[in-house]
Each structure stands twice: as C-alpha cells, then as structure tokens.
Amino acid sequence: MLLSFMNLEMVQAEQKLFIRHVLGPEAAEEAGYGRYFAALNQVQRFKVLFDVQGQGPRREFDLTIPEVRDFLLRTEFKEVGAEQMYDAARQDVTRKKLDEGFEIVRGVCPQLPEVIRRLTGMFVFAHLDDWAAGSGRYAAGIIWLNMLKEASALEYAEYLVHETTHQALYLYEMIHTLFSRPLQELGRPEALVVSSIRKVPRSLLHAFHAACVSVNLVQFYDALGMPDKADAFFDPLLITMRQLREKSSRYMTRGGIAVLDEMEALVDRRQTLRTNTALVA
C-alpha cells in the first residue's frame, strides 16, 4: 500500500547495510534492536536516545535532558523551558492518543508499527504554537510531536505515517542517494518545486519528501475508506509531481528517479480510477 521504501523487509535490509558500513560486518550480523541507532549516533551530531530493551520508541517529555534540548533547538524552537513542557494531564492524554493512533495504523498497514519501531528511537513531545510535528535528516531516528490537546487518534495516526515516511526516506537516501547535485544547489531558484504539503515553492529535497508523504497519506486515507481526506492530499500532489518530473533528469540519481517512478504509477492509477468513477456517476 505505502511506497516500497516503507516495506519492513526493505528497511531491515538497508539498515543492515548501513550498520555494516558504520560499525563493521560483525555488528551488522548481530541481532539487536539498537544497532541502527548506535550507528546513527556515530555519524550524526544529534544523538538518538532509545530503549535498549527494544520495546519501541522512547517517549520523552523531559526537556531538560541535554540531547532532547539540543535536538529541539535545531528544529523550530528558539528556546526550550517550562513553557514548552507538557503537564502531567497532557502527557497522559498524549500517551493514550498515541497508542490509539498506532492501532489505527496497524489496522491499515500491519507492518508499519514495526517499521516505526525500527526507524524511530525516540519521540520527543514539546509545545510550540502552530507546529504539529517535525523531523530532520540531521537527526534521523528522532521525531518531535506536538499534537493539539483535542487532536483525535486519527490525527496521531496521520502524523505517524507522515513522519515515518521521512524517517524511511532518510535511510533510503543514505543507502541509494536521491540527488546527483550538491544539496545547496537544490535550494536555488531554478530547482524550487511547489510542495504538496505546504503549497509554496521549496527546495527540491523538501518538495520530494513532501511528495512522498502526500502519496503515502493518499494511500492511507483511501485504505481507511476516507476519499475526501485522500483528495485533500492528492490534488496539490499533481502539481508537485509534474514539476519533479521536469527536474528529474538534471537533479536526480537513479535511486531518486526510481522512487519518483513509483509515485507516478500510484498517482496515475488513482487518477484513472477517479476519472472512471466520475464517468460512471
């Protein structure tokens, strides 16, 4: 249902390659939940705190932990203090809704909770006005969530799909690469593409990520039988896909074009189905 780089077997195989490259062949053959995060911590500045027992992503509300604070200050936060911390009641609601969101995800894509467990070492919860979630390629393995107090379990499920798409793509990018040009070139005016999520021109890297997120959310909501929600992500995606294809030969590697081809196939299939449905109606 989701893009193939989200497939559990593919994630496991690519993690093994990454661990082999960073920690050596013996580490790649050892069983253990934390090897991927240990490897990430060798190559990136922002350290992933993870549950060494392998029970799943650590849920961190304590913003005084240096690794947590440093990560947040690299995202959209100007400061991290008491105002950004959740009180006990909000923590309880967040844990409950996140669990319910995981169950929704499991019902649609049974493999995805395990993919999340393998790709995400830590969820960080902190309040920031006008932001719901975030992650970055500079801190693979960490997801920041900031859902509204009244957010539904379905909204939590949506952001689990959204942010895990980024995490899976970070891993794919480390193994295959997506772009043939330096990152700074992807943000030049001639490389900008309208993002299907924010609906404004963004760097080719960010627009590509946004397109992957949109495709997965269209698939997710269609599988839930919510075509109106799927359409809300699908319609802006059409513009982004066209612009990505126009720039693909100049900026993308074979790995990037392979993902683009897969996205286009899913988009074309849904567009054909929607057209046929409208004709029948």
Per residue of the chain (281 residues), what is the pLDDT tens digit? 899 999 999 999 999 999 999 999 998 888 678 999 999 999 999 999 999 888 889 999 999 999 999 999 999 899 999 999 999 999 999 999 999 999 999 999 999 999 999 999 999 999 999 888 999 999 999 999 999 889 999 999 999 999 999 999 999 999 999 999 999 999 999 999 999 999 999 999 999 999 999 999 999 999 999 999 999 999 999 999 999 999 999 999 999 999 999 999 999 999 988 777 766 65
Pair of tokens at residue 236: 């802006």
In a domain, 192, yes or no: yes
List the structure tokens of 50. Answer: 């993870």
Mean pLDDT of the chain: 94
Domain membership flag for residue 147: no
Expressed in percent and rounded to 5, the helix, strand and coil fractions of the chain are 65, 5, 30
Structural domain total, the chain: 1
pLDDT given for residue 55 in this prediction: 83
* Residue 79 falls inside a structural domain: no
**Quick one: residue 250, left, alpha or beta (phi over 0 = left, psi -120 to 50 = alpha)?**
alpha
In a domain, 218, yes or no: yes
> What is the Cα–Cα distance from 217 to 219, expressed in whole angstroms?
5
Residue 274's closest CA among 240, 226, 213, 231? Answer: 231
Query: Would you state the structure tokens that stand for residue 188, as one six-digit string?
Result: 């030049």
Q: Is 251 part of any domain?
A: yes
Counted residue by residue, the chain has a size of 281
Decide if 207 is inside a domain. yes
Per the rule left: phi > 0, alpha: psi between -120 and 50, beta: everything else, 24 is left
d(CA 113, CA 8): 10
58-60: strand order across its sheet: 58-60, 122-125, 142-145, 133-134
In a domain, 162, yes or no: no
Q: How far apart, in whole angstroms, are the C-alpha atoms of residue 98 and residue 247?
A: 38
Tokens matching residue 101 = 């969101």
The answer to whether residue 250 is domain-embedded is yes
Find the domain containing 221 and state its range: 177-281
Contacts of 155 (CB under 8 A, 6+ apart): 101, 147
